[in-house]
Amino acid sequence: MLLVTPTAFRGRWRWDDLIDALNETLDLAKKRAVEPADLDGSPYAPFLPATVLATQVQQLTIAADLALNNNIAVRET
Amino acid sequence: MIDVASSFRTPDLAAVVLGKSKAGITLWNRLEGRPRTEAFDRALRAEVRDPLWFLTRQWQMGEFRGDDAGSPISVKVRLETTKLQKYQAASGPVEPYSDAIPLEAHAERARPDAEPHRIALDIRLLMGRQWLKMIRGVAPPAAAQEFLARYPVHEPDPTDPLDTPTCAHADAWSNFAAVAGRRMDGALLYFHLVDGAANHASDGIASLAGMDALIDPIAARFVAWFERLVYQPEGTGAWESDRLEYRFATSAPEAEGEKVLVAEQYFQGHLDWYNFDVDPQSGTLGEPDPQAEPPVRTTLTMLPTQATFNGMPNTRWWRFEDSRTNFGDIKPDTTDLAKLLLIEFGLVYANDWFVVPFTVPAAGIASVRGIAVTNVFNERTWITAAGAGDDEDRQRWAMFLLSTRGDARTPADLSLVIPPAAQKVLEGDPLEEVLLARDEMANMVWGIERTVPMPSGEPKDGREAAYQTRDFYERELERVLGVPPQPVAPAEGAKIRYKVMSSVPENWIPMIPVHKDGDNREVQLQRAVMLRIMEGDTNPTPEPVRPRTSLLREGLEGAQQVGYRLHEEEVPRAGVRVTQSFQRTRWSDGRAWVWLGVRKQTGRGEGSSGLTFDQIVDIPPQS
């Protein structure tokens, strides 16, 4: 069941509030299904998803090198 | 083993940072989640995330798509049902038919007293016993002995050639010998009674003289009892021996004329809707009957219910299924079309069907004249049959619909036929079994009698019967000659011998190809004979070897012997296997029907008799 609250409490229900709430819910349902692959062509691609971690070539500070951690690359000693 | 942790540690970090001896280059990498995978296992678990995820999954499954459609709320159907009321066997006369008799029994019946087994010993003894039981209360005790003396069981005589089928087999002969002179042969009495109206049961029985008034009703009951024991045809019946199939027609009255259904090639042993075709040419079967029951019209007004079946998948994603039947677990082969169709129907079209029930009377034809459906928006729709269309259209097919005979482009027949066929038929062991097999090396067809009926009533393996018969003739020959028969001795010093023809077992009946009458291209199979050639016979008069099953003895009975021709296309490369057996069923009024019916099935492939001509045979050296 969908719980709808109006944007401003005017004391009565307005028909437009209901319609807009329904449309917004359906839009949100579609947005919930967005995958990173869908964003690749858009201008947000460099920023989203914002799960960025810093790493250093020479380990001088806190670093998280995901390639080394997951054994995709091996460090040359 | 690389110690990962140690390779990341910069030794003496404080000194390196202060002295800037190593470059500090910072990069960024990003961790991205990919919610797609190739296997469906995780997705099918239908894990729950947040409330919005419920809606997203519903949107992905198409549950938010709206149609301008309404559910059906009221259905009005007009139906017409009619019963089968006439029957015609092959090209015989048209008779009235009522569904008091199962149609299979009516079409398949054959006479048990057909040659050569005539009425077998077991039925004769049964009839004798029944007769004596029937007159026990009425007749004086001496009558039983007199009946026995007048209608005795035949004692087989080994010197009589007519008794050879009995005397060649020890078990049959011993059955006859055990009861000859001790039991009454009831079949002789039966034939005596039906021969003429003036024949009485008490003819020739001294102790029953003058008791005609008492005995005649009992005799009439006896005749009626035998005729009810095995259901027998009056005329020739529906069996076509040149096709090895049954052919018959039935009809049911319609508003104008009759609907004629023909069963042209019925041999499966069990009658069903697919054996019938609609005959568009003949408007009626025989004369129209003014007393025929007219078709019954019914109009139904109903609320249709949705069709559900076990294991029907729920069309919504967020519902629990009842896991009794799992359609998704069926693993069909790529060639299993029927399974694939069933899965598709069950999974994709499951909730699209509505049911309006109607009880169709058996032994009849039902047709839907029209359906009008009203939906919840008060819109009425006229429904036509899914199988409607041109009868000759190759793309059109519907289950349970009959095809129309002939090539004319008529509209397809849309009625449902429920033939009055027996549900559970008890079939005895085959009394006769013939295997027709093609022999490519000898370029002919052999009718191999695998089971032959004995005069004592039991079936016997054909090859064993053939060997025993041959043995019997060899012993006969030995008795006539006085010494065991010697084959002709080869010439002195001969190393090879010329053999004109090899032999085949006596239960192999040859069918040779002959031209059809008036045609020099088409071929039919005609029954031929092998001669019984006895080695060492000084005075040879070879007799023809006759078949012993009534299926192959077609034309040999009766005063005038005629040949037997079989259409060549009835014996395909795989051969055919024709069996005759007693069948029994209980019909809807509780009465049991017993009849003798024939069934044809696929054979066992090609055969080889070993029949060869003009052979050179080595003579083993005499030691």
Give dist(CA B597, CA B425) in Å, integer: 11
Residue with tokens 């395909």: B572
Alpha helices in B325-375 (DSSP H): 337-348
Give dist(CA B406, CA B404) in Å, integer: 6
Give dist(CA B413, CA B366) in Å, integer: 11
Which residues of chain A have a CB within 8 Å of the CB of B32? 36, 49, 51
Q: Mark yes or no for CB contact A49/B16 under 8 Å.
A: no
Is the CB of residue B555 less than 8 Å from the CB of residue B498? no
CA distances from B360 to B82, B83, B270, B413 (A): 10, 10, 21, 18
Q: Which residues are CB-contacts of B540 (< 8 A; sequence separation ≥ 6)?
A: B533, B534
Angle, helix B212-229 to helix B121-135, in steps of 10 degrees: 140
Nearest residue in B to A75, CA atom: B7
Q: Using only C-alpha atoms, what is the Rg of chain A? A: 23
End-to-end CA distance of chain B: 89
Give dist(CA B315, CA B65) in Å, integer: 13
Categorize the per-residue pLDDT at B22 as very low, low, confident or very high, splitting at 50, 70 and 90. Answer: confident
- Per-residue model confidence as pLDDT tens digits over B341-356: 888 888 888 778 899 9
Residue A37 touches partner B, C-beta closer than 8 Å:
yes
Could you give the percent of chain B with pLDDT greater than 90?
32
Categorize the per-residue pLDDT at B262 as very low, low, confident or very high, splitting at 50, 70 and 90. Answer: very high
Nearest to B10 among A51, A58, A74 (CB): A58
Q: How far is CA B379 from the centre of its chain?
A: 49
What average pLDDT does chain B have?
87
Best to test chain A binding among B1, B2, B3, B7 (most A CBs inside 10 Å): B7
- ipTM for the complex? 0.81
Give dist(CA B546, CA B477) in Å, integer: 19
Q: Which range is most confident: A42-51, B81-90, B104-113?
A: B81-90
- Residue A66's H or E segment, with its range, is helix A66-69
The confidence score (pLDDT) of residue B465 equals 94
Q: Mark yes or no for CB contact B10/A59 under 8 Å.
A: yes
Give dist(CA B529, CA B508) in Å, integer: 9
Best to test chain A binding among B27, B34, B54, B317 (most A CBs inside 10 Å): B27
Residue B382 touches partner A, C-beta closer than 8 Å:
no
pLDDT at B289 over 70: yes
DSSP string, B381-424: EEE--TT-SBTT-TT---TTPPPBSSS--PBPP--EEE----SS
pLDDT at B116 over 60: no
Q: How many Cβ pairs within 8 Å bridge chains A and B?
A: 82
DSSP bridge pairs for B452: B460
The confidence score (pLDDT) of residue A39 equals 85
Q: Which residues are CB-contacts of B478 (< 8 A; sequence separation ≥ 6)?
A: B484, B485
**CA contacts within 13 A on the Cβ side of B612:** 7
Closest approach of chain A CAs to the CA of B333, in angstroms? 35
Give dist(CA B270, CA B419) in Å, integer: 11
Mean per-residue pLDDT, B228-255: 87
Categorize the per-residue pLDDT at A6 as very low, low, confident or very high, splitting at 50, 70 and 90. Answer: confident
Q: Which of residues 32-51 of B touch A (CB under 8 A)?
A: 32-36
Q: What angle is formed at CA B346 by the lines to CA B343 and CA B347, rounded to 5 degrees?
A: 85
Is the CB of residue B451 less than 8 Å from the CB of residue B462? yes
Q: Mark yes or no for CB contact B32/A75 under 8 Å.
A: no
The confidence score (pLDDT) of residue B283 equals 77
Q: Mark yes or no for CB contact A36/B34 under 8 Å.
A: yes
Min mean pLDDT across A1-15, B264-278, B443-457 is at: A1-15
Nearest residue in B to A65, CA atom: B29
pLDDT at B322 over 80: no
Q: Mark yes or no for CB contact A33/B60 under 8 Å.
A: yes
Single-letter code of the amino acid located at B591? R
The confidence score (pLDDT) of residue A68 equals 83
Which residues of chain A have a CB within 8 Å of the CB of B36? 35, 37
Best to test chain B binding among A1, A31, A34, A58 (most B CBs inside 10 Å): A58
Which residue from B88, B103, B180, B172 is spatially nearest to B459, judged by alpha carbons?
A: B172
Angle, helix B51-60 to helix A15-31, in steps of 10 degrees: 80
Q: Mark yes or no for CB contact A54/B60 under 8 Å.
A: no
- Per-residue model confidence as pLDDT tens digits over B371-407: 999 999 999 999 988 888 888 888 888 888 898 888 8
pLDDT at B148 over 70: yes
Six-digit token string for B215? 């005995």
Q: Mark yes or no for CB contact A37/B36 under 8 Å.
A: yes
Categorize the per-residue pLDDT at A77 as very low, low, confident or very high, splitting at 50, 70 and 90. Answer: low
Which residue from B580, B623, B571 is spatially nearest to B602, judged by alpha carbons?
A: B571
Q: Mark yes or no for CB contact A49/B33 under 8 Å.
A: yes
Report the SS3 class of residue B300.
strand
Report the SS3 class of residue A26.
helix
Min mean pLDDT across B72-81, B365-374, B392-401 is at: B392-401
Q: How far is CA B434 from the centre of its chain?
A: 15
pTM above the 0.90 mark? Answer: no
DSSP bridge pairs for B426: B584
Give dist(CA B103, CA B275) in Å, integer: 12
Give dist(CA B479, CA B476) in Å, integer: 5
Q: Which residues are CB-contacts of B227 (< 8 A; sequence separation ≥ 6)?
A: none
**CA contacts within 13 A on the Cβ side of B588:** 12
Nearest residue in B to A55, CA atom: B27
Six-digit token string for B342? 């069933």
Give dist(CA B494, CA B471) in Å, integer: 30
Closest approach of chain A CAs to the CA of B23, in angstroms? 7
Q: Mark yes or no for CB contact A75/B64 under 8 Å.
A: no
The confidence score (pLDDT) of residue B117 equals 45
Min mean pLDDT across B154-158, B485-489, B499-503, B550-554 is at: B485-489
What average pLDDT does chain A have?
85
pLDDT at B535 over 90: no
Mean per-residue pLDDT, B112-123: 69
Q: Mark yes or no for CB contact A52/B29 under 8 Å.
A: yes
Give dist(CA B161, CA B516) in Å, integer: 35
Which residue from B148, B145, B176, B146 is spatially nearest to B160, judged by alpha carbons?
A: B176
B453 compared with B282, residue with greater pLDDT: B453
Residue B62 touches partner A, C-beta closer than 8 Å:
no
Give dist(CA B312, CA B329) in Å, integer: 13
Which residues of chain A have a CB within 8 Å of the CB of B35? 35
Backbone angles phi, psi at B510, to 5 degrees: -80, 145
The confidence score (pLDDT) of residue B581 equals 92
Q: What share of chain B is helix, strand, coil (3-state, %, to 5)?
A: 25, 25, 50
Residue with tokens 């940072």: B17
Closest approach of chain A CAs to the CA of B62, in angstroms? 12
Mean per-residue pLDDT, B477-481: 87
Residue A52 touches partner B, C-beta closer than 8 Å:
yes
Nearest to B52 among A32, A35, A65 (CB): A32
Residue A74 touches partner B, C-beta closer than 8 Å:
yes
Residue B31 touches partner A, C-beta closer than 8 Å:
yes
pLDDT at B577 over 90: yes
B203 compared with B52, residue with greater pLDDT: B52
Q: Using only C-alpha atoms, what is the Rg of chain B? A: 38
Residue with tokens 């291209």: B521
Could you give the percent of chain B with pLDDT greater than 70?
97
Mean per-residue pLDDT, B400-426: 88
Nearest to B24 among A26, A53, A58 (CB): A58
pLDDT at B113 over 70: no
Q: Mark yes or no for CB contact B17/A36 under 8 Å.
A: no
